[in-house]
Amino acid sequence: MSRIIAVPPCHFAAPQLLCNTTLARMHTALELLTPGDILLLSGDVPYSPHTKTLGILMREWFIQHDTPPESLCILRGGVGTFSEARVTCQTTPHLEAREIVVVSSDWYLFAGKPIWCRRAKEHNLTLSFVSIPHTGGVRTQLLYGIIGIVLRLGIAVGLEAPLEGLFTSVQKKRAEGFTFKGCA
Protein backbone atom coordinates (compact mmCIF):
# COMPACT_ATOMS: atom_id res chain seq x y z
CA MET A 1 0.00 0.00 0.00
CA SER A 2 1.22 3.49 -0.85
CA ARG A 3 2.25 6.16 1.58
CA ILE A 4 1.31 9.79 1.06
CA ILE A 5 3.98 12.42 1.58
CA ALA A 6 2.16 15.74 1.96
CA VAL A 7 4.22 18.83 1.24
CA PRO A 8 2.32 22.04 2.01
CA PRO A 9 4.09 24.94 0.29
CA CYS A 10 4.99 28.17 2.00
CA HIS A 11 4.85 31.11 -0.43
CA PHE A 12 6.19 32.51 -3.67
CA ALA A 13 9.61 34.19 -3.63
CA ALA A 14 8.49 36.08 -6.75
CA PRO A 15 5.96 35.41 -9.49
CA GLN A 16 6.53 31.84 -10.73
CA LEU A 17 9.34 31.25 -8.21
CA LEU A 18 9.14 29.05 -5.11
CA CYS A 19 10.49 30.40 -1.82
CA ASN A 20 13.43 28.89 0.09
CA THR A 21 11.10 27.44 2.74
CA THR A 22 9.11 25.53 0.13
CA LEU A 23 12.35 24.33 -1.49
CA ALA A 24 13.66 23.08 1.88
CA ARG A 25 10.44 21.13 2.41
CA MET A 26 10.64 19.63 -1.08
CA HIS A 27 14.28 18.59 -0.68
CA THR A 28 13.35 16.79 2.55
CA ALA A 29 10.34 15.12 0.91
CA LEU A 30 12.56 13.96 -1.95
CA GLU A 31 14.91 12.31 0.57
CA LEU A 32 11.95 10.47 2.14
CA LEU A 33 10.44 9.28 -1.14
CA THR A 34 10.51 5.52 -1.67
CA PRO A 35 9.03 3.48 -4.55
CA GLY A 36 5.24 3.43 -4.31
CA ASP A 37 4.99 6.68 -2.33
CA ILE A 38 2.83 9.50 -3.64
CA LEU A 39 3.82 13.13 -3.20
CA LEU A 40 0.63 15.09 -2.54
CA LEU A 41 1.20 18.72 -3.42
CA SER A 42 -1.13 21.39 -2.13
CA GLY A 43 -0.93 25.11 -2.83
CA ASP A 44 -3.85 25.62 -5.17
CA VAL A 45 -3.02 29.34 -5.30
CA PRO A 46 -1.39 31.50 -8.00
CA TYR A 47 0.77 34.56 -7.44
CA SER A 48 -1.71 36.47 -9.60
CA PRO A 49 -4.75 35.40 -11.64
CA HIS A 50 -4.10 33.07 -14.58
CA THR A 51 -0.55 32.16 -13.51
CA LYS A 52 0.85 28.85 -12.29
CA THR A 53 -0.07 27.78 -8.77
CA LEU A 54 2.38 26.82 -6.04
CA GLY A 55 1.30 23.19 -6.53
CA ILE A 56 2.07 23.26 -10.25
CA LEU A 57 5.46 24.89 -9.67
CA MET A 58 6.25 22.23 -7.07
CA ARG A 59 5.26 19.47 -9.51
CA GLU A 60 7.56 20.93 -12.16
CA TRP A 61 10.43 21.12 -9.63
CA PHE A 62 10.00 17.48 -8.60
CA ILE A 63 9.94 16.36 -12.24
CA GLN A 64 13.14 18.36 -12.88
CA HIS A 65 14.64 16.43 -9.93
CA ASP A 66 13.85 13.07 -11.53
CA THR A 67 10.64 12.27 -9.63
CA PRO A 68 8.39 10.06 -11.74
CA PRO A 69 5.28 12.06 -12.74
CA GLU A 70 3.05 9.16 -11.65
CA SER A 71 4.32 9.71 -8.08
CA LEU A 72 2.96 13.27 -8.06
CA CYS A 73 -0.58 14.34 -7.27
CA ILE A 74 -1.70 17.97 -7.13
CA LEU A 75 -4.30 18.56 -4.46
CA ARG A 76 -7.09 20.92 -5.43
CA GLY A 77 -8.60 23.22 -2.82
CA GLY A 78 -5.63 23.38 -0.44
CA VAL A 79 -5.35 27.08 0.34
CA GLY A 80 -4.32 26.97 4.02
CA THR A 81 -3.78 24.74 7.02
CA PHE A 82 -7.39 23.67 7.57
CA SER A 83 -8.18 23.01 3.92
CA GLU A 84 -4.83 21.27 3.29
CA ALA A 85 -5.42 18.86 6.16
CA ARG A 86 -9.07 18.24 5.33
CA VAL A 87 -8.61 17.65 1.59
CA THR A 88 -5.45 15.57 2.06
CA CYS A 89 -7.14 13.25 4.55
CA GLN A 90 -10.25 12.95 2.35
CA THR A 91 -8.12 12.18 -0.72
CA THR A 92 -5.70 9.69 0.86
CA PRO A 93 -8.07 6.66 0.92
CA HIS A 94 -8.93 7.27 -2.76
CA LEU A 95 -5.21 6.95 -3.53
CA GLU A 96 -5.24 3.56 -1.80
CA ALA A 97 -3.11 4.79 1.08
CA ARG A 98 -3.60 4.74 4.84
CA GLU A 99 -0.47 6.60 5.93
CA ILE A 100 0.40 10.29 5.60
CA VAL A 101 3.75 11.93 6.31
CA VAL A 102 3.46 15.72 6.54
CA VAL A 103 6.72 17.49 5.68
CA SER A 104 6.71 21.08 6.82
CA SER A 105 8.34 23.79 8.88
CA ASP A 106 8.34 23.65 12.66
CA TRP A 107 6.24 26.83 12.86
CA TYR A 108 3.61 25.44 10.44
CA LEU A 109 3.43 22.22 12.43
CA PHE A 110 3.02 24.10 15.72
CA ALA A 111 -0.16 25.64 14.34
CA GLY A 112 -1.29 22.79 12.11
CA LYS A 113 -0.47 19.57 13.95
CA PRO A 114 -3.67 19.50 16.05
CA ILE A 115 -5.76 20.05 12.92
CA TRP A 116 -3.95 17.36 10.92
CA CYS A 117 -4.28 14.89 13.80
CA ARG A 118 -8.04 15.46 14.05
CA ARG A 119 -8.59 15.08 10.29
CA ALA A 120 -6.46 11.91 10.13
CA LYS A 121 -8.38 10.41 13.06
CA GLU A 122 -11.70 11.10 11.27
CA HIS A 123 -10.48 8.97 8.34
CA ASN A 124 -8.65 6.34 10.42
CA LEU A 125 -5.28 7.25 8.90
CA THR A 126 -1.79 6.88 10.29
CA LEU A 127 -0.07 10.24 10.51
CA SER A 128 3.50 11.33 11.15
CA PHE A 129 5.38 14.59 10.80
CA VAL A 130 8.80 15.63 9.59
CA SER A 131 9.66 19.02 11.02
CA ILE A 132 12.08 21.31 9.24
CA PRO A 133 13.68 23.94 11.49
CA HIS A 134 15.18 27.30 10.53
CA THR A 135 12.76 28.18 7.72
CA GLY A 136 10.49 31.14 7.16
CA GLY A 137 10.92 34.68 8.27
CA VAL A 138 10.34 36.21 11.67
CA ARG A 139 6.99 37.64 10.55
CA THR A 140 5.72 34.20 9.48
CA GLN A 141 7.06 32.47 12.58
CA LEU A 142 5.31 35.01 14.84
CA LEU A 143 2.09 34.86 12.82
CA TYR A 144 1.93 31.07 12.95
CA GLY A 145 2.86 31.11 16.63
CA ILE A 146 -0.15 33.31 17.34
CA ILE A 147 -2.36 31.24 15.04
CA GLY A 148 -1.19 28.07 16.80
CA ILE A 149 -2.09 29.46 20.22
CA VAL A 150 -5.51 30.66 19.00
CA LEU A 151 -6.23 27.30 17.35
CA ARG A 152 -5.21 25.27 20.37
CA LEU A 153 -7.32 27.43 22.67
CA GLY A 154 -10.24 27.34 20.23
CA ILE A 155 -10.10 23.56 19.94
CA ALA A 156 -9.92 23.25 23.74
CA VAL A 157 -13.13 25.25 24.17
CA GLY A 158 -14.98 23.60 21.26
CA LEU A 159 -14.62 26.33 18.63
CA GLU A 160 -12.78 24.34 15.97
CA ALA A 161 -15.61 24.46 13.40
CA PRO A 162 -16.08 28.26 13.54
CA LEU A 163 -12.30 28.75 13.42
CA GLU A 164 -12.05 26.48 10.40
CA GLY A 165 -14.80 28.43 8.67
CA LEU A 166 -13.13 31.74 9.45
CA PHE A 167 -9.60 30.74 8.43
CA THR A 168 -10.71 28.92 5.28
CA SER A 169 -12.90 31.85 4.24
CA VAL A 170 -10.00 34.28 4.63
CA GLN A 171 -7.50 31.94 2.95
CA LYS A 172 -9.75 31.18 -0.05
CA LYS A 173 -8.97 34.71 -1.23
CA ARG A 174 -5.48 33.38 -1.97
CA ALA A 175 -6.95 31.61 -5.01
CA GLU A 176 -7.19 35.05 -6.64
CA GLY A 177 -3.55 35.87 -5.91
CA PHE A 178 -1.09 35.16 -3.12
CA THR A 179 1.77 37.64 -2.75
CA PHE A 180 2.53 37.43 1.00
CA LYS A 181 6.28 37.01 1.56
CA GLY A 182 6.58 34.25 4.15
CA CYS A 183 10.35 34.11 4.19
CA ALA A 184 10.64 37.80 5.13
Question: Does some domain include residue 182?
Answer: no
What is the extent of the structural domain holding 49? 2-176
- pLDDT score of 1 more than 70: no
CB 12 within 8 A of CB 20: no
CB 41 within 8 A of CB 52: no
Cα 116 from Cα 86, distance rounded (Å): 8
pLDDT tens across 102-117, in order?
A: 999 999 999 999 999 9
Cα 20 from Cα 27, distance rounded (Å): 10
User: What's the pTM value of the predicted model, to 2 decimals?
Assistant: 0.90
- 133, 149, 116, 137: which is closest to 180 by C-alpha? 137
pLDDT tens across 156-169, in order?
A: 999 989 888 888 87
- pLDDT score of 180 more than 80: no
List Cβ neighbours of 53 (8 Å cut-off, separation of 6 or more). 43, 44, 45, 46, 74
Question: Does some domain include residue 184?
Answer: no
Question: Does some domain include residue 42?
Answer: yes
